[in-house]
Structure 1
Amino acid sequence: MSDDQTRNEEEAREKEDALNVAESDVDEVEEEEIDEDVLTEEEMEEVDEVEVVEEDDHEVGAIMVLGQSGFAEGQSNRGADDPSDNTLCEPQYVVRFGEMVFVADRGNHRVLGWNTFPEENGEPASFVLGQEDFADCLENRGITTTLDEMTSGLGDESLDGFTVSKPEEDTLSQPAGLDVIDGKLYVSDSGNHRVLRWNGLPSDDGEAPGLVLGQDNLECGEANRRGLVGSGSLFFPFGLRSGDDQHVFVADKDNHRVLIWNKIPFNNGWNADICLGQSDMDEREANRGDFENVTPDSLSFPTSVFYHAESGKLFVVDQGNNRVLIWNKLPTHNGVPADLVLGQPNFYSREANVTQGGGSRCDGIGMNFPTDVVYGRKGLFVSDSVNNRVLGWKELPTENGQPADFVIGQKTFYEGKYNRNSDPAATTLNDPYGMFLDEDPEDEEDKGKLYICDRGNARILIWDELPIPEEEHEEEDEDEMHAEVEDPELLMGEDEDFFEEDEMPPEELEEETA
């Protein structure tokens, strides 16, 4: 055989071997050097096409959705005029107790209940509270009254004759926080300025509660009991939790305080024992009357509270000050200052997104209208609503302004668009609100689940695996963060107004509710 024939056969074998490798194992092709002079242009294009397909990364997303039939849907009540047993409109808070799940469906003025844990996307609820049936959605079931019947506490005679919604014992207006405490369901009936408690776990449509906090009886619904703020009054209560089946914690949002009951109430209008955010029970000004001068013991529109009984730590979402406050132990008297702050570099700053100036410029430290906080073995989580994300810390932070370890709803800490400027997906969020961390307290190996009320997408997302970065990549990610902070505009572009027409920033909210 001649030398030319030998060389031709060797070149033919090299071509065949290179193509076989490219089709069977792309990673090996990347590690080996392929002589481009040996392969034809057509053969090289075939190798490149295989590489593009194999390099596509998989992003961790939610495993189940309630309120929608699939992850790509995001319309209130699935685009219908009226709700049904499997739709939601602005869901705000969620809780699981045993096999039961409860959701505060704010826009439909109702609470939905599932008797058994849902097994598939969009599974219908078992019963409804606050309405007679699943097709109803009117505030307080459409019952109204005129202000001339209850003007004495409002201080504005010009409102005489103005028609307003009127509560009954079995109606709801803009329900918010909810929890099961000592085997009984509690619901913050925000628009009626009260907290309702059922005698157990309801299971029938329209079932009425048996006790009320914030009002004298179940047919009253005026703010602060006709204007008399005190230890037994409420003004748009939001987040509600216990943590130990002994205490009751309520974020009394428009009174700019958190109320604590040291034992389970057993009468209507039972007075709270402690307030945080104010020096006394008869005060209600944001940041104690000096709105711009925030301090460790002041609050502005708090929306949620969480008590971790095992560690004794208390967490409060101070929404108007764009921060989360942490007390290392349960306060025993009024106005105790917090021990640690997240979302701000110190206790005396309150701007959205810290130094990034609000809007779309966000990072791993700042917050813009946070809404809820939960803590457990899975970590610490804060829903950061205007940034359309949930921030996560793998362990409890120990320093003021400590950056989060990972983010849910966005690909990086420096993005904040709702649904990432696209359609809803299993990995995106739009105005995230209440959360629930589902962990078995008796099983330390239980990985748990995280429930997120994705309010703007009218759904509840349930996450099992979380997008926590691997340990070996932490140093690289940190370097990337510093690079982005140096010039965040390269990523985010122009500032945009994140508030809808019917929303406003904390400063304007204060003027409206004063």
Structure 2
Amino acid sequence: MLKFCALFSLCAAVSLSQSFVTGQGARLVVGQSNFTAQTPGASDTLLGSAAGLAFAGDTLFVADSNRIGYTPNNNRVLLFKNVSQKMPLPLNPIPAYSGRCPVCVGQASTVIGQPDFVSTNFQTSQTGMRSPTAIASDGRLLAVADTENNRILIYNTIPTQNGQPADIVLGQPDFNTVQPIAATASSFRGPQGVWIQNGKVFVADTQNNRILIWNSIPTKNNQPADVVLGQKDFNSVIPIPVAQSALTPVANTMLNPVSVTSDGIRLFVADLGYDRVLIWNSIPTHSNTAADVELGQKDFFSATPNDISNLCPQAGTDSNGNPTYPARCGRTMDTPRFALSNGQQLFVADGGNDRILVYNKIPTQSATEADQVLGQPDEFASVVTSMTDIFHPLLLQSAANVIPSPTSLAWDGTNLYAADPSNRRILVFTPGQVQFPIAGIRNAASREVFATGGVDISGTIQAGDTVTITISGTNYVYKILSTDTVATVVQALVNLINEGAGDPNVLADVQSNFSQVQVIARQGGPGGNAISLAASTSTNARITATTSGGTLSGGESAGTIAPGTIVSFFGYQLADTTVVADTSQQLPLDLGGVQVYFDGIRAPIFFVSPGQVNAQMPFEVSDSNSASAYIRTVHSDGSVTVTNAVGVPIALQNPGIFAVEGQDPRQALAYHGSSQATGTITISGTIQANDVGTITIEDRSYSYTVQATDTLNTVRDALIALINANPGEKVYALAGGAYVRILLRAKVEGPEGNNIPLAASSTNSNSGTSPQLSLGLSNVVTCCANRAGAPITIDNPAQPGETLYVYATGLGLVNDVNGNNISVLDGVPFNGPQPNNANSAVSSLVDTKTANVISAGLSPGGIGVYQVVLELNPDIPPNNVAQVTISQDIYTSNIVTIPVGNTSVPPSQ
């Protein structure tokens, strides 16, 4: 079907010298409205569980059925013609405002096997099909493996009409007959592979464990084959033992071959049952010819799926000293389903390992290792995409960079098409001229979220006692001196862990307020959560050491992005120069020659440089859990480059807090929240008529009796109105943005407004009835007037009980005070209602104590920036590096720090 690049209209677009990147994402998707839709059905744009692919003559052919249990089976073949004109070419720009997913492409022009695009019934006829699973074309002829009819249909010309009848049938005497199972030169049993090459037809006769070859294009029905591979003759089928251990493969046998292809020189067979790919260095002309090369096994006589002990590097040893190995590697295979060469590279759909193996050169030695892997982050992984629980949402299900059980491949000279029947789609992978790392996209604020742990040191000092901290099996032992204190013991343990090059897994720090050794994973993300942590002391020691847990915790992926997030791309050769956009205006979609695409949507750009690009994730992707991202750059010399695509996990929220540059945990960009003293009252509970809520300010009480028609919001508003109706009151009240809260502000600025007594209570006017309304007070006096907007610094620290704010990104969609969703434009300074609040509730911890979230919404005039207003716990102790996080749902931000002072020491003004 392909031998020379000149056969393909797209070959000139991207040079074959470009290579794929392990773990990269697909650039395009065919058959669904976005990468993760998984919509069942049948139309000219909607695929079922399609398993077969071919490409020739600028046409993509899709066999829309499968035999591996996925639904729906649409019993048809679709033709997508003029692909180069209808699907975005990698170097071409995609026009702005082209819809939700401009890279979700493909409208079939013709369907065969059905009379129209919505019918799906199976038939045994000249126009019908039953589970067609493979298809082949040389640009002139078309052949279909009509699997469950045990036949091959041949069309002497490429079909142009829906439901067009086939011209020739192989495997049956006519179009309306299905003969009893037999092994002859003209029969099939469940054929799942077909190929046309240089005037020959090849068929993978799957359940007869053989390949049949016709040396010329058949011209009559039921024409017998000329050559058989895998069996000694046309009438033999070697019985296969039930037990895996009894399998006896050799170079001229096969078990359930499911694909056969050729590059015009060599022949490739996916020998599914023996978990290998067979290569003949020339097209066999004699029956029972042995293969020359095998991939996936150590030799021709082995048949072990993922034979790790013979093919993979040793990973370590177990507790008994026995070698351990990864679950798979670049040499192993598990039920491979397709092998395809473009004449220079070889691609293998390694179905059981949910990946595609890429060999940059055609292997000439058995058991060759693949050069890249698509569908997995590395050669050893098998990411599970179909299991979930409350802490592990299905962000990778149908993601742009995963492909469970790929079944077929096609190459158009530029792009690799991969059938993904489990997700009812075709993924299109494109090598980039600029190789971009698969973990190169980050929340611009958090960048990394590191796992942490702690060891609390307490007790009394006794010379000679020892304290041991064990991190991933490495012991750090300190022997106590008579002159020590708990503080010096903590510092000594930190010094041991950081000594020299330091522990390879963690950095250590002193949490002096807690007499704690804090350890922080060196590597960001969830991998740090696997670092083990233990502590012990010597026998009869008077000092104690208690860990926060058996492993570090809190490591999160800053690469999981919420709609509207400011993101950073970190890579190389992304731009020629550094350019910064004016964020007071609508952001450009092209900056310094750079365009950023998410699912083909042009993203607003803040900043470009050769090593970093900052852009905004479009809010439109909120309907998906994954997006495909890449960068296109027009260079100063007029040349154009594109990166490989990267799959970006999408969550409705994943916050990051902006901080100054430096080593994590970094100092937050935090600011004092008010020039007036403040207080907060939280209203909660349920509505019960005749409950009475009372707020007392000094000796002035304001009470509201609840009506049956009230809500918590109307109770709040009524109390606010009562307070504000008193012109002599020392404070005024307003509604909080998050939760149901009343914010009290002194009418005078500065410390004169501090220490106004506050109280709140609820009762019921009916004797003996307990109130259901609850009024909670955060502090018994107003406190902490500062200078609104002044940075929080060591010289002007936050105070316990003070209101402050930080800036964040990644909090997702927002709503107004009435709970109505707010429409937010991408790349435009926000001028929507204030206050507004993130749809997903925000919580916060500051040095392990809960901070009240007063509001958390889009900042006025900002683009993708959220202002999070916090009220510190009044009991928080002083700490120059108090650690702050915010959380939404299961997602927690990066750790940042703020200095917290002491209320007995007036802050500098």
Q: TM-score, normalised by structure 1?
A: 0.68
Change (3 A) 1:236 1:214: same
State the match for 2:254 in structure 1. Answer: 299
* Higher deviation after alignment, 330-339 or 286-295: 286-295
Aligned pair partner of 1:400 in 363, 366, 385: 366
1:138-167: per-residue Cα shift (whole Å, max 9, x none)?
222xxxxxxxxxxxxxxxxxxxxxxxxxx1
1:389 Cα deviation after fit = 0.3
Paired with 1:175 and 1:409, the residues of 2 have a C-alpha distance of 25
* 8 A Cα contact 1:420 1:428, kept in partner: no
Pairs within 5 Å for 1:465-476: 465=431
Question: What is the percent sequence identity of the aligned residues?
Answer: 32
1:323-357: per-residue Cα shift (whole Å, max 9, x none)?
00111122221111111110001011101111369
Partner of 2:422: helix, strand, or coil? Answer: helix
Paired with 2:43 and 2:274, the residues of 1 have a C-alpha distance of 37
One-letter code aligned to 2:408: G
State the match for 2:404 in structure 1. Answer: 430
Paired with 1:241 and 1:451, the residues of 2 have a C-alpha distance of 16
Pick the structure with more helix per residue. 1
Pairs within 5 Å for 1:310-321: 312-321=265-274
Partner of 2:158: helix, strand, or coil? Answer: coil
* 8 A Cα contact 1:278 1:288, kept in partner: no
State the match for 2:182 in structure 1. Answer: 228
Change (3 A) 1:94 1:360: farther
Pairs within 5 Å for 1:434-513: 434-439=408-413, 448-465=414-431
One-letter code aligned to 1:131: Q
Task: Determine whether 1:345 maps to 2:298.
Answer: yes
Partner of 2:192: helix, strand, or coil? Answer: strand
Aligned pair partner of 2:217 in 251, 256, 264: 264
State the match for 2:47 in structure 1. Answer: 88
* 8 A Cα contact 1:373 1:382, kept in partner: yes
Paired with 1:346 and 1:469, the residues of 2 have a C-alpha distance of 34
1:395 Cα deviation after fit = 0.7
1:282-319: per-residue Cα shift (whole Å, max 9, x none)?
0123569996111111110000111121xx21111100
Paired with 2:379 and 2:208, the residues of 1 have a C-alpha distance of 32
1:419 Cα deviation after fit = 4.0
Task: Determine whether 1:385 maps to 2:351.
Answer: yes
State the match for 1:104 in structure 2. Answer: 63
Segments of 5+ residues of structure 2 without an aligned counterpart are 1-20, 66-72, 88-102, 312-324, 388-395, 437-529, 532-909
Paired with 2:22 and 2:140, the residues of 1 have a C-alpha distance of 41
Change (3 A) 1:172 1:467: farther
* 8 A Cα contact 2:53 2:63, kept in partner: yes
Pairs within 5 Å for 1:155-170: 167-170=124-127
State the match for 1:34 in structure 2. Answer: none
* 8 A Cα contact 2:58 2:82, kept in partner: yes
Partner of 1:242: helix, strand, or coil? Answer: strand
State the match for 2:169 in structure 1. Answer: 212
State the match for 2:308 in structure 1. Answer: 355
1:221 Cα deviation after fit = 2.2
Paired with 2:420 and 2:211, the residues of 1 have a C-alpha distance of 24
Paired with 1:242 and 1:334, the residues of 2 have a C-alpha distance of 18
Paired with 2:362 and 2:386, the residues of 1 have a C-alpha distance of 28
Paired with 1:63 and 1:463, the residues of 2 have a C-alpha distance of 6
State the match for 1:485 in structure 2. Answer: none
Task: Determine whether 1:63 maps to 2:27.
Answer: yes
* 8 A Cα contact 2:419 2:426, kept in partner: yes
* Higher deviation after alignment, 398-407 or 120-129: 120-129
State the match for 1:131 in structure 2. Answer: 114
State the match for 1:322 in structure 2. Answer: 275
Pairs within 5 Å for 1:179-198: 179-181=136-138, 183-198=140-155
1:342-386: per-residue Cα shift (whole Å, max 9, x none)?
000101110111136999921111111100011125511100111
* Higher deviation after alignment, 265-274 or 323-332: 323-332
Paired with 2:169 and 2:358, the residues of 1 have a C-alpha distance of 35
State the match for 2:238 in structure 1. Answer: 285
State the match for 1:499 in structure 2. Answer: none
Name the count of aligned residue pairs: 371
Paired with 2:234 and 2:333, the residues of 1 have a C-alpha distance of 29
1:115 Cα deviation after fit = 2.7
Paired with 2:261 and 2:228, the residues of 1 have a C-alpha distance of 15
One-letter code aligned to 2:78: L
1:459 Cα deviation after fit = 0.5
* 8 A Cα contact 2:191 2:204, kept in partner: yes
Change (3 A) 1:135 1:418: farther
1:97 Cα deviation after fit = 2.1
One-letter code aligned to 1:314: L
Change (3 A) 1:333 1:289: farther
Paired with 1:396 and 1:234, the residues of 2 have a C-alpha distance of 30
Aligned pair partner of 2:203 in 250, 259, 265: 250
One-letter code aligned to 1:127: T
Paired with 1:302 and 1:203, the residues of 2 have a C-alpha distance of 31
Paired with 1:450 and 1:458, the residues of 2 have a C-alpha distance of 17
Aligned pair partner of 2:383 in 394, 402, 417: 417
Paired with 1:286 and 1:253, the residues of 2 have a C-alpha distance of 14
* 8 A Cα contact 2:241 2:247, kept in partner: no
Paired with 1:127 and 1:62, the residues of 2 have a C-alpha distance of 25
Q: TM-score, normalised by structure 2?
A: 0.39
Change (3 A) 1:108 1:437: same
* 8 A Cα contact 1:406 1:468, kept in partner: no
Change (3 A) 1:59 1:212: closer
1:437-481: per-residue Cα shift (whole Å, max 9, x none)?
212xxxxxxxx21111112111111111169989xxxxxxxxxxx
Change (3 A) 1:111 1:201: same
Paired with 2:431 and 2:344, the residues of 1 have a C-alpha distance of 10
1:61 Cα deviation after fit = 1.8
1:268 Cα deviation after fit = 0.5
Change (3 A) 1:58 1:199: closer
Structure showing greater relative contact order (alpha-carbon pairs closer than 8 Å, 6 or more residues apart): 1
One-letter code aligned to 2:409: M
* 8 A Cα contact 1:70 1:122, kept in partner: no
1:111 Cα deviation after fit = 0.6
One-letter code aligned to 1:433: T
1:58 Cα deviation after fit = 12
Pairs within 5 Å for 1:24-63: 60-63=24-27
1:14-50: per-residue Cα shift (whole Å, max 9, x none)?
xxxxxxxxxxxxxxxxxxxxxxxxxxxxxxxxxxxxx
Segments of 5+ residues of structure 1 without an aligned counterpart are 1-56, 141-166, 440-447, 471-489, 492-514
Which structure has the bigger radius of gyration?
2
Paired with 1:341 and 1:369, the residues of 2 have a C-alpha distance of 14
Change (3 A) 1:114 1:336: same
